[in-house]
Chain A
C-alpha cells in the first residue's frame, strides 16, 4: 500500500470503510512519520502514542461490530496544546503549566472523541498563543517543513507544520488574530477561523476571550470542512457560543461553484507593503475567480487601518485578566514555596519564572490599558474602533458575499528574523485581525509559491457571521482550478523532508 501519510482524511476514511486498512495501521503510520521527522520539525510537544493507538483500536472494533461511524472516524489528528484533553499534558506553550494534566476534556476534544477522530498528541505554539512564529514557545521553535530555516507561522505553527509535514492529515488550531490562517498561509495548507461562537471555547486556555476561536487545519478544503462540521455547533458550556445550526460547510466544500458570487477586494488591505510574490499570487487568484464566474469589485473598509492598534489594546487587556489565574495556588508551576515566603511572594516568583517575555509584555500592556484613568483612552477607545470595524464589514457585505485579501504581507520569514522587533511581528496579522475583531468567519487557502523564495502564499477569504460555508465554496473553487495547474494540491510541490530515525 502506498504511504498512508500522503492520503487526505477523506481518502483514509474511504480506505477504512472499504476495509483496505484500519485506524490502527493509519495511526501507526503517522506515529512513525512523527518519529521520523519531528526531530527536524518539532511540531509536537507531546505525542500520546498509547492513547492514540487505544483510540484507533476502539474505532476499529466499533467498525468491526458494524457500528455506524462518523465520516472521519479513525482518522488521526494533531491537537494544538492550548485545548485541554483529560489526563494528557497541556502547557499552552508555557513553563507555568509544565506537567499539568487537565482533569477534563475541552468541548472540542469531546466532539473529536464522539466523531471517532484519533488524537495523536499536542502541538507546539507560541506561549499562550502570543506570537506569529512559535518562537515564543517555552519549548523551542517549530520549523517550517517547506524550509527548516524558516518559521511555520504562529501561534499555531505546530498544528500547520504537522499537517504540512504529513505527520497528521488534520489538526486543530485556535485563531485570536490569525493564529490558524497565518500558519496555514506559511505552510501551504488550509486554515479556517470559524465564526466566533460557531465553535466552543470551553477548555480552550484563554488568550483573549472575545477573540479566540478554535478551527480546523488540513491539506484540502473538504478535509477541513469535515473537521469543521465535527467540532462546530452550540455548546451550553460556552455562553458565547451561537445556538444555531452549523452552516452547510461540507456541501459548500463539495460544490465549489462561484458563478455569480460577488467578491470584494478590500482596498485597505491592498496596495504597498506586500512581498512581490504574495501580491502576484493574490492577483492571479482574484483573476482566476473572475474566470470562474465570480463578480469581483473593490470594497472600502476605512476603519481597518485602526484594527491593529485596537487589537493590541483589547487582546492584552483581556489576556492580563485571563492569565491572572496562573498563580501557583491550584495547578501548574510553583516557585519559592519554602515555608518562609508568603502566598503573594510565591505567586510573584512563580509568575516571574513561569511566563516568557512576550507574555509579560502583554500582561503589562493590558494591565496599564485597563487602569483607572487610562481605561477610556485605551480599552474604551479600542472597543469603539471594534464597533466601527464591524460596521465596515456589515456595509461591505451589503455589496458583496465575501471579502478577500492576501493572508499575510510576506511569506514565512527566517527563524530569528523578527524576535527583537515585536512591531514587525505584530504586523504579520494586519489582514487577519479585522475578522477576529468583528467575529466574522475567515480562512486562508494556498494559491501558489512566491517566485522570489519558493514559499507558499495564502489567499484570505472573509465571510459574514455564520456564513462559513461561503469560505469553503471559494476555497473549493480555487483548489480545483489550481489542481489542474499543479497536478494536485499545492502541498505536492513541497520538498521532501529528510527522514531521521
Chain B
C-alpha cells in the first residue's frame, strides 16, 4: 500500500525553505573482469553464468584486487581534482542480504582512494546566460556490486507481496566507484537543476576517461540523492531522506524537486520528516517510503583482512595524471577557439547538449559551423518535438557527416538536406535510401536547367532589363524563379552561373 504524500508547490516550498543536498553516484567500471576475481563483466548474460567461487562467496575463496579497477578509480579521482591516498585499505561492510554472497560488502570506509576534490557544473540561467557552480567532492572510493534480486509473484516487483525471489550473481563483484559530494550549497531555486547538471557532467567526464559505459538504463550509473530542508535563515540542518533508484538525468531533477515539495508540505504543517531511504518512481514521478534508516545502522566496518593495503606509487599516479584528457572547461575554451564560435554560439552548443556530437562530427571532416547548424537546427528541433536527448535521436555524427558531404559535393542543398534529416529521424533508412525514396536529388541535367532559366528570362523581362542596366543583384529574382520552377531541386550556384552567362554578365 502506498500513501501518496501531499506536496507543496515548488515556489511555495522554496519561499519557506532552503534545500540541502548531497549526491552519491555509483559508477560501474568497464573493466573486463570483476573487482576481486577473473569473472567477465558483460551485461545481459544469462543469470549466474559469470560466477566463480570468489564472487559466489564460497567457503575458502579469497579476493584479489583488480589493478585496472584501481587505475580507473585513480583516474576518476584525479579528474575530480581529488587527492589520491598514498596508502588505503578496503573494509568490510557487514550486513545480511541474500544477493550479497559473503554477507559483507568489500568496500572502503575511512580510507578512500580519492578524497577532497571539486568540480564545476554549468547550468543555463533564465536570461539566456549560464551560471557555473562549484561542487565539492568528499570522496571517491572502490567497492563491489551486489547480485541482483528479482522478486516474483508480487504486484509491484518489490519484495513485499512476492512469493519468492531469484538472485543473479553475475553482477556480484562488478567494480563500482562511489562518488560522494559534500553538501551542495547553491541558490535554492537552482538546486535541482544543478544536481541534474552534475550527474550529466559526470557522465561526460566518465565517458571521456573511458572508465565506464555510463549506461543509466543498464544501471552502470546510479544516483542516490540526499535531501533535507531548513527554514530560510536557519543553520540547523533538517532530517534528510535518501532517494534511490534515480536513473536518468531528468529523474535527478524531478526526484529532488519532488522531495523538496513533499518535505515542505510535511514541515509546513508541523510534521516531522522520517529519516529513511525512499524509492523514486519514474512513471508516477513520486518517491515512496523504503527502509527506515537511522544513524544507528551499524555495519561493523573493519579493515578487510583478506586484502593487503593499496599503496599506489606516486610515479604511477603521475603517469595516470599525464594520460588524463584535458579538463572540460579548458577543453571547451580550446574548441571555441578552434571552431571560431562566439561566446553566445558556444553557450548555445553547451546548453543544447551538442558539444560532444559536434566534436565527433568535426572529427569526421565536417566544418564546425555546418555541424553546429545541423545539430542545433534541424536535429535539435526534432529532439525537442519527440522529448528526446539530442544523442538519442538515432542520428549520429556519421549520418550528419554523410549528408554534409553530399551538400559539399552539390548533390544536395540545405533545403533538401533538411528533408534527409527528417527521414533519418523517422527511421526511413540511410541518407542514400531516403534521397532515393523521397526523390530528393538535385537536378543536374543541364538541358532541363537551361530550359528553366530560359523560361524565367522570358517571363521576367523587367528583371532582365534591370540586370542589364547595371544592377546585377536583381538577378536574384531570376534565380528564385528557377529554383521555384525546379521545386528546389537545383544547385543555386549553378543556376546563378547559367543566368549570368545567358544575360552576358
Q: Which residues of A contact B (CB under 8 A)?
A: 83-84, 90, 92, 97, 100, 102-104, 106, 201-206, 208-210, 236-240, 317-318, 320-321, 324-327, 329-331, 343-344, 347, 367, 370-372, 375, 379
The distance from the CB of A115 to the nearest CB of chain B, in whole angstroms, is 20
Give the CA-CA distance A205 to B53 in the complex, in Å: 12
B165 proximity list for chain A (CB < 8 A): 343
A236 proximity list for chain B (CB < 8 A): 64
- Structural contact, A102 and B60, CB atoms closer than 8 A: yes
Residue B102 at the chain A interface, CB threshold 8 Å: yes
- Structural contact, B62 and A330, CB atoms closer than 8 A: no
**Partner-contacting stretch, out of B7-15, B93-101, B138-146, B275-283:** B93-101
- Structural contact, A209 and B60, CB atoms closer than 8 A: no
Residue B339 at the chain A interface, CB threshold 8 Å: no
**CB contact between A239 and one of B98, B298, B308 (< 8 Å): that residue:** B308
- Structural contact, A205 and B59, CB atoms closer than 8 A: yes
Residue B302 at the chain A interface, CB threshold 8 Å: yes
Extra inter-chain contacts (9) besides given A104-B61, A343-B98, CB under 8 Å: A83-B60, A205-B59, A208-B305, A238-B62, A240-B306, A240-B307, A370-B300, A372-B298, A379-B302
Q: A239-B308, A324-B103 are in contact. Are A370 and B302 (CB under 8 A)?
A: yes
- Structural contact, A239 and B307, CB atoms closer than 8 A: yes
- Structural contact, A327 and B300, CB atoms closer than 8 A: no
- Structural contact, A324 and B62, CB atoms closer than 8 A: no
- Structural contact, B302 and A102, CB atoms closer than 8 A: no
Give the CA-CA distance A321 to B94 in the complex, in Å: 7
B53 proximity list for chain A (CB < 8 A): 102-104
A331 proximity list for chain B (CB < 8 A): 58-59
A83 proximity list for chain B (CB < 8 A): 60
Residue B123 at the chain A interface, CB threshold 8 Å: no
- Structural contact, A239 and B59, CB atoms closer than 8 A: no
Ranked nearest first, the 8 interchain pairs of A and B with the lowest CB-CB distance are: A324-B103, A209-B305, A370-B300, A210-B305, A203-B60, A205-B59, A325-B57, A84-B60
Give the CA-CA distance A210 to B92 in the complex, in Å: 14
Give the CA-CA distance A208 to B306 in the complex, in Å: 9
Q: Which of B58, B60, B296 neighbours the largest number of chain A CB atoms within 10 Å of its CB?
A: B60
Give the size range of B's interface with the partner: 20 to 34
Contact flags B149-193 to A (C-beta < 8 A → 1, else 0): 000000000000000010100000000000000000000000000
- Structural contact, B302 and A321, CB atoms closer than 8 A: yes
Give the CA-CA distance A104 to B57 in the complex, in Å: 13
Residue B124 at the chain A interface, CB threshold 8 Å: no
- Structural contact, A324 and B64, CB atoms closer than 8 A: no
Give the CA-CA distance A203 to B62 in the complex, in Å: 8
The distance from the CB of B35 to the nearest CB of chain A, in whole angstroms, is 12
- Structural contact, A371 and B298, CB atoms closer than 8 A: yes
- Structural contact, B62 and A104, CB atoms closer than 8 A: no
Of chain A, the residue at the smallest CB distance from B149 is A343
Residue B492 at the chain A interface, CB threshold 8 Å: no
Q: A209-B305, A324-B102, A344-B96 are in contact. Are A371 and B59 (CB under 8 A)?
A: no
A204 proximity list for chain B (CB < 8 A): 60
Give the CA-CA distance A263 to B165 in the complex, in Å: 62
Residue B65 at the chain A interface, CB threshold 8 Å: yes
Give the CA-CA distance A204 to B56 in the complex, in Å: 15
Of chain B, the residue at the smallest CB distance from A203 is B60
The distance from the CB of A119 to the nearest CB of chain B, in whole angstroms, is 16
The distance from the CB of B289 to the nearest CB of chain A, in whole angstroms, is 19
Residue B104 at the chain A interface, CB threshold 8 Å: yes
Residue B353 at the chain A interface, CB threshold 8 Å: no
- Structural contact, B104 and A321, CB atoms closer than 8 A: yes
8 A-B contact pairs sorted by A residue (CB < 8 Å): A202-B62, A206-B60, A206-B306, A325-B57, A325-B101, A325-B102, A344-B96, A371-B298
